[in-house]
Structures are given as structure tokens and as C-alpha cells.
């Protein structure tokens, strides 16, 4: 774990070699209990052994660090890539993730004041850099009344070589249903999808409290938010360590068995107060259960878009609740595989299930599973449908669906 340290004294009374922001390092066997090793290679502030691994170029400043494994492993000295704020936005490289060599010139010269980070888009051989836009990047400045919040948004710059970058362009910003500030955001890939965890700030209606919300994108540029705008990681209750602020860092969720771990920045007070101790919190949830569609006692239906079926099993990440014995047979989840309409050769007026794969042939079930294999008349084999254009229709009652996969 790489985490930020903030020294308030050095922030207001800076002196050489004592930066206000620097990066600490910790290790864990289970992701819950952490050890901060004291290492001889990193003396700081008169202490010969510390767990501080970065203080920035010339000891000026290092914060909002993102450490990732370089997709290009041809140079062992550049096995790890580090992006951090320190007189602009800077790149550094490392062979072991501890000793860093910072590039002499920043890749972005203005102060980005947020959790900036890189995402490698392998299918396009290009890097996405998510950061704040250059206009008043810290959220303050002399703009007309009503435009104060225009700096706290998410911008995107692109590069093919980590050296030459496009102009950062704003891509993701609050709408009329949001608070007017997006304080932090982290974008990561999951099963090809771009997922964003972003923090809204209640600066105008509160005391700069933050909570984490979810958005998704197919291309990393155009993002969609949930319709209800419920927080993915809400603030804790009054008096809790995370009552004031819940904000994302630069880490995507970590997969651990059937769970995912998501770490976040926490404070008992909003950002209006700098004088409270801050900490790192942990959210644990079942794998890939970022969002779900639920039906209660009234039956609900979901129809997918058309796709080419490639694989021979249908796996569901789902929860179907136990129900009274006299209702069995109608509760739970059933799936029909619908043939794509053929408008060229015949008239099509309604959807038609592929024979043997209708709702009535599907074996209904109640379970809580991250990869339940669906069957029709006792068979799970879909190999006869490989290469066909199909839809899936889900029938749910007292059940929820988080995702599906056509698997080998």
C-alpha cells in the first residue's frame, strides 16, 4: 500500500527537505492487518529508518501517488510506473516499487490537485490519464458568481508513449441531479468495461463532506451514472472515523477469493476542517456486485441487447431469495434465449425463444452465487447455439441480477 502523508506545519511553514506531502509504504498478508516496515534506504527528518518512500523531486513534494505495473516489461528498471503530484504532474519509474527515478520534466505542468491516474487501453495501444481540467484546477478563483465549481471535474488526456499528451478535455462533470463538485475520481477496467468511482462534495449545502458514487463507460470517455444516485460507499454515522469524508484513492478494487476489497480515504469531518486525523477505510463486497437489478413480489423482466453467443455455458452473478414452499416454481430466476429477428426473409411481429431454451424449459432456482450455471431441462450445454445472434430475457421474482457471462 502506498498512502499519502500530509504535514500541516510544513504546509504553512515550508523548509528544504521537509515537504508538506510525502508517500508512505505498508505491507499486508491479508489486506486487513498492515505493517509499516522501517527501511534504511529512506531516512527522513532526522530518522535514519522510515517507511517513507517518496518526497518528490529535490525533496519538494510527492502526493496522490499511483503505482502500477508497467505493461511494457522490456526494461527491468521501469518495471513499475509511478504518477504523482510534485511541481506539476510527474512520472517516475522503479525496478522494485520502492526506489523511484523521477523524470526531469513534468508531463502536466499545472497543479492538478486531485487523485490523478493512468489507465492503459490495450486494444488501442494508448494511455488514458484522468485528472482535473486546467481551468482553476484547485476549485478556487475569480470567475463570475455561479461558476465556482468548474474546476472540480474530471478531464482526460491521451498518449501513446507517456511523453506526448493531448490537451486535457473535460469529460465528466456534475449535472442538475448532483452536488456541483466532483472532488476525486478513479477509473479502472473490469471485464473490458471502464468503471469510475467518484466522490461528490457537498460544499454548498454542507461542510465539504464527500461520498463515493459509481459510473460506467464503454470507451473511457462517455460515462453513465446510476439513475438513483445512491452512494456506492456512503459516509459513516455521526462520530465515525468516516462520517465527514469518504473519498477514493488511486487503487481499483482488489480481488480476493469471492470478495473484492476497496480502500478509501476517510475523515470524521468535511474538508472545511484540516485539523482532524484522517485514515484509510476498507469496503468488502462480493465479487463484481457493483450494481444490480432487483424484482420483489411482483415479477420483473430484463431483456439484453442482441449479441453473438460465443461459449457453451451461461453463468449468473445473482441472488434469488428463499420463498415459502407454496410459491415455489414461480419465484427465483428463469432465463430464455431469444432468436434475433430475421427482417430480410420473413415478417417478425414478436420475439421468439429458441426451441428448448424458453422460460418454461429453464430450470428455476434460488441461490446466492457469483457464477451459477443456468440449465434448461437439466442441460447447461449451449454449444449448439455458438455463433448465433441472440438476446437473453430474464424473469425475476424475489431475486436480483448483478451480471451474466457466456463462458467456455
* Rounded average pLDDT over 90-113: 93
Q: pLDDT tens digits for 5-38?
A: 998 888 888 887 789 999 999 999 999 999 999 9
Distances from the Cα of 273 to the Cα of 140, 210, 266, angstroms: 17, 13, 13
pLDDT of residue 266: 95
pLDDT of residue 143: 53
**Choice between 288 and 351, residue whose per-residue pLDDT is larger:** 288
Which positions ≥6 away from 257 have C-beta within 8 Å?
none
* Rounded average pLDDT over 162-172: 94
pLDDT of residue 151: 74
Percent above pLDDT 70 for the chain:
94
Q: pLDDT tens digits for 241-264?
A: 999 999 998 889 999 999 999 999
| Exposed/middle/buried for residue 54 (C-beta within 10 Å: 0-12, 13-18, 19+) | buried
Residue 344, pLDDT above cutoff 90: no
Cell of 3: 498512502
**Choice between 101 and 115, residue whose per-residue pLDDT is larger:** 101
Cα–Cα distance, 397 to 327 (Å, whole number): 11
What DSSP string describes 44-84?
BTTBSSBSEEE--GGGS--EEEEEEE-S--S-GGGSEEEEE
| 3 state SS of 11 | helix
Q: pLDDT tens digits for 323-336?
A: 665 455 567 899 99
- Helix ranges restricted to H, 167-206: none
Q: Is 24 in contact with 46 (CB distance < 8 Å)?
A: no
User: 45 pLDDT band (50/70/90 cuts)?
Assistant: confident
pLDDT of residue 38: 96
292: DSSP letter: -
Q: Is 178 in contact with 210 (CB distance < 8 Å)?
A: no
Percent above pLDDT 90 for the chain:
72
Cα–Cα distance, 293 to 399 (Å, whole number): 9
Which stretches of 240-312 are assigned E, i.e. beta strand?
245-248, 254-256, 259-267, 279-286, 293-295, 300-303, 307-308
Which positions ≥6 away from 236 have C-beta within 8 Å?
242, 243, 246, 266
Q: pLDDT tens digits for 146-156?
A: 566 677 899 99
* Rounded average pLDDT over 363-384: 94
Look over the chain and give the mean of its residue pLDDT values, rounded to a whole number. Answer: 90
Distances from the Cα of 277 to the Cα of 13, 69, 114, angstroms: 20, 31, 19
Cα–Cα distance, 47 to 18 (Å, whole number): 12
* Rounded average pLDDT over 36-57: 92
Q: Is 50 in contact with 44 (CB distance < 8 Å)?
A: yes
Cα–Cα distance, 391 to 353 (Å, whole number): 9
Residue 359, pLDDT above cutoff 60: yes
Length of the chain: 408
Cα–Cα distance, 29 to 35 (Å, whole number): 9
* Rounded average pLDDT over 83-109: 94
Residue 118, pLDDT above cutoff 70: yes
Residue 59, pLDDT above cutoff 90: no
pLDDT of residue 396: 93
* Rounded average pLDDT over 73-98: 95
User: 137 pLDDT band (50/70/90 cuts)?
Assistant: very low
Q: Is 266 in contact with 241 (CB distance < 8 Å)?
A: yes
User: 297 pLDDT band (50/70/90 cuts)?
Assistant: confident
- Element spanning 10, H or E: helix 8-12
Look up the pTM and report it: 0.90
Residue 97, pLDDT above cutoff 80: yes
Q: pLDDT tens digits for 179-228?
A: 888 999 999 999 999 999 999 999 878 899 999 999 999 999 999 998 88
* Rounded average pLDDT over 93-101: 95
pLDDT of residue 330: 65
Amino acid at each position: 500500500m502506498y498512502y499519502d502523508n500530509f504535514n500541516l506545519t510544513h504546509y504553512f511553514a515550508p523548509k528544504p527537505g521537509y515537504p508538506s506531502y510525502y508517500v508512505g509504504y505498508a505491507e499486508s498478508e491479508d489486506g486487513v492487518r498492515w505493517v509499516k516496515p522501517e527501511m534504511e534506504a529512506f531516512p527522513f527528518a532526522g530518522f535514519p529508518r522510515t517507511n517513507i518512500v517518496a518526497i518528490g523531486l529535490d525533496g519538494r513534494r510527492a502526493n496522490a501517488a499511483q503505482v502500477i505495473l508497467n505493461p511494457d516489461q522490456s526494461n527491468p528498471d521501469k518495471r513499475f510506473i509511478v504518477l504523482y503530484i510534485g511541481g506539476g504532474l510527474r512520472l517516475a519509474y522503479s525496478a522494485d516499487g520502492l526506489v523511484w527515478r523521477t523524470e526531469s520534466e513534468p508531463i502536466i505542468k499545472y497543479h492538478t490537485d486531485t487523485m490523478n491516474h493512468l489507465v492503459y487501453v490495450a486494444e488501442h495501444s494508448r494511455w488514458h490519464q484522468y485528472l482535473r481540467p486546467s481551468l482553476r484546477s484547485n476549485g478556487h478563483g475569480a470567475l463570475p458568481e455561479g461558476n465556482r465549481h468548474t474546476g472540480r471535474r474530471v478531464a482526460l488526456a491521451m498518449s501513446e508513449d507517456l511523453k506526448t499528451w493531448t490537451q486535457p478535455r473535460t469529460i465528466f462533470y456534475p449535472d442538475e441531479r448532483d452536488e456541483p463538485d466532483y472532488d476525486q475520481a478513479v477509473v479502472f477496467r473490469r471485464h473490458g468495461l471502464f468503471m469510475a468511482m467518484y466522490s461528490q462534495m457537498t460544499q454548498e449545502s454542507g461542510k465539504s463532506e464527500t461520498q463515493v458514487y459509481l459510473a460506467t463507460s464503454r470507451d473511457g470517455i462517455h460515462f453513465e451514472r446510476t439513475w438513483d444516485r445512491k452512494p456506492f460507499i456512503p459516509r459513516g454515522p455521526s462520530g465515525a472515523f468516516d462520517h465527514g469524508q469518504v473519498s477514493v484513492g488511486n487503487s481499483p478494487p482488489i480481488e480476493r477469493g469471492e470478495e473484492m476489497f476497496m480502500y478509501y480515504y476517510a475523515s470524521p469531518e468535511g474538508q472545511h476542517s484540516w485539523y482532524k486525523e484522517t485514515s484509510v477505510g476498507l469496503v468488502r463486497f462480493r465479487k463484481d456486485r457493483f450494481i444490480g437489478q432487483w424484482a420483489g413480489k411482483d415479477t420483473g423482466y430484463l431483456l439484453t441487447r442482441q449479441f453473438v453467443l460465443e461459449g457453451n455455458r451461461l453463468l449468473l452473478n445473482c441472488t434469488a431469495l428463499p420463498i415459502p414452499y407454496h410459491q415455489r416454481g414461480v419465484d427465483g430466476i428463469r432465463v430464455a434465449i431469444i432468436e434475433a429477428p430475421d427482417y430480410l426473409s420473413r415478417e417478425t411481429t414478436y420475439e421468439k425463444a429458441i426451441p428448448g431454451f424458453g422460460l418454461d424449459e429453464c430450470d428455476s432456482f434460488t441461490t446466492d452465487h457469483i457464477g451459477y450455471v443456468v440449465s434448461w431441462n437439466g442441460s447447461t450445454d449451449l454449444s449448439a447455439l455458438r455463433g448465433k445472434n441472440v438476446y437473453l430475457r430474464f424473469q425475476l421474482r424475489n431475486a436480483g441480477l448483478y451480471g451474466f457471462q457466456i463462458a467456455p
